[in-house]
Amino acid sequence: MNENTRYDAANIQVLKDLEAVRRRPSMYIGDTDKRGLHHLIFEVVDNAVDEAQEGYCDKIEVIIGKDNTVTVTDNGRGIPVDIHPDQKKPGVEVIMTMLHAGSKFDHKIYKISGGLHGVGVSVVNAISEYLEVEITRDNTVYHQRYERGKVVSNLKIINKDKSLQTGTKVTFLPDPEIFPEIQYSFDIITEKLRELAFLNKGLTVKLFDERTEKTRTFLYNGGIVEFIEFLDKDKGTIHKPIYFCAQKEDSACEIALQYTDFYTENIFTFANNINTKEGGTHLAGFKAGITRAVNDYGRKSGLLKDISLTGDDAREGITSIVAVKIREPQFEGQTKTKLGNSEVRGMVESLVYNKLGQYFEENPSTADKIIKKIMVAASSRVAAAKARELTRQKAVLGTSPLPGKLADCEERNPENREIYIVEGDSAGGSAKQGRDRKFQAILPLRGKILNVEKAREDKILSNEEIKNIISALGIRSTLRYHKIIIMTDADVDGAHIRTLLLTFFYRYAKDIVENSHLYIAQPPLYRVKQKRKVMYVYSDEELNTLTEKLEKDGIEIQRYKGLGEMNPDELYNTTMDIEKRTIKLVTLEDIVEADKTFTMLMGDKVEPRRQFIEQNAKYVENLDI
């Protein structure tokens, strides 16, 4: 074996002791809520992926236990178990109990690695009630147990067999003393594991949730090209995915892209397998390279002449994956998911500009289709700019500062203000009369808003209802309310209006969703009256439970189909009173699935929508026709 690739305890470098992790866990994992809880899983998984990137692992399995344990198994080389030359402990014990101890700092072993930006699995150990590790190396299985970061059993041999495969199995239970709620999201875990499988072609990643018996298996031999095909499955595409890659010293970059007939861009960026949702230098380089390549080819081909395309024009309808792998990633931003390495921008921009330009030259018919689509986008941009300027001028002149239908509230601080977007004038009238005027505003909608999934920005901005929403909420300026609550009828039309509004917020005001400002009201489905007692019921299950408890004599049940059926007091007491109401926060846990769902439900293709309805019709309990 080459000395540079030898993997034993001598490769493990200790940077500093594991102290204060339990006292200040948020410093190491971001928070002790949902994000931090899931980070524990991903730290252990990323260690296994590092083995896969080096070519030693091709299978990873994650099991969510009924008892809230998490087990991650891989078939890599197995964590070293020999005695560390400086620490005089087994290598695995050093890794599990000492902060910043691991082979990621030795670039002979891991040239590129992910993980929690160098924090290490020791943090997972420190804030777990217990952690157990099983390592298979040299036909031997080793076991060690830790509790709240402390060793409670020495490393011992539990099995020997020449037929055993190498690998590592880690099982841990997050500490309830650290985490107020231990509730894993299947969707969040699924998104991460699916991404890892796409980014590491040939790697099989399995997920099994014992709580629900849900299972997922991911294997993509086509890598990020398959990722693009997955994202664009239900979209009209202009060409087959374009793929190019480059490697320079200890850095690598691969990019896949495809233009669709949609109007929004869909770009996912990754650095060392970490989803950099806030973008960074690799995204900036990609955008610059695309804009240069499109403009250069457009001029050379004579299609553009005197027109200069902007970056927004060049990216309309594009789906792209930008994945870089670098030795020392520098992360910044609020959630540490923004890449800051300055040298990456130039590398990505050069790759995109040269390779895409070459593709255009070699595929002129496809290039012409792309350029012509982008030229239409440029025309739309000019029209949209005029619409925005007209709106701005009206606001400056005071002729149209806020929609006439808006009933604003007295509170001035946006953090303490909330607005209900209400379906119809009738319900809007009840809401205006019943609300708490101090902090609750009401914006009634007249019918269904435009489906933004099928429209360009100029058409969207000319829609009266959408203009009212943008103006009332302060979208693209200063948000005027920090609670935006969609309140629609409990029927098919209400569900459709709610979906149209969710599509608008997802496509054109995603930051409102990401910053936890968007909610859905939960009006009652039934009014149950027995003698003089009136009760409001919010689900069929609740109705069944209630009617079983009550005597069947003299019970009157009214099903509400519209908000307008309730008088102002009823609407306030059941749906708007902050002491009694239930509102659902709209969250974005799986961006890929969210994008595909909006495309399927609101896009042009009928067949995927028909299949969805057929598959889910059995779950419908109340259907109004």
Domain ranges of the chain: 3-218, 224-380, 414-523+563-619, 526-559
Q: Which of 46, 50, 349, 489 is catalytic?
A: 489
CA of 148: how far to CAs of 98, 126, 132, 143, 168, in Å?
13, 5, 11, 17, 20
418 catalytically annotated: no
CATH class of 414-523+563-619: alpha beta
Residue with tokens 């590491």: 200
CA neighbor of 243 nearest in space, from 232, 265, 227 = 227
- Give me 506's structure tokens: 């997802």
- Give me 432's structure tokens: 């205006």
Q: Which of 423, 453, 465, 595 is catalytic?
A: 423
CATH number corresponding to 224-380: 3.30.230.10
Q: Which residues of the chain have pLDDT under 70?
A: 1-5, 12-19, 100-119, 333-335, 387-401, 613-625
Give the integer Cα–Cα distance in Å for 107 and 104. 6
The region that residue 588 occupies, defined by phi over 0 for left and psi between -120 and 50 for alpha, beta otherwise, is: beta
For the chain, report the end-to-end CA distance as a whole number of angstroms.
Answer: 72
Residue 108: per-residue pLDDT: 54
423 catalytically annotated: yes
Inter-axis angle of helices 281-301 and 342-362, nearest 10? 30
The amino acid present at 385, given as its one-letter code, is A
Residue with tokens 């973008």: 279
Give the model confidence (pLDDT) of 435-450 as tens digits. Answer: 999 999 999 998 788 9
Q: Which of 134, 491, 590, 595 is catalytic?
A: 491
Q: Which of 58, 187, 229, 493 is catalytic?
A: 493
Would you mind telling me the total number of residues written for the chain in this entry? 625
**pTM of the prediction?**
0.80
Give the integer Cα–Cα distance in Å for 482 and 515. 9
Q: Place domain 3-218 in its CATH homologous superfamily.
A: Histidine kinase-like ATPase, C-terminal domain (3.30.565.10)
553 catalytically annotated: no
CA neighbor of 257 nearest in space, from 285, 304, 290 = 290
493 catalytically annotated: yes
Residue with tokens 């890599």: 76
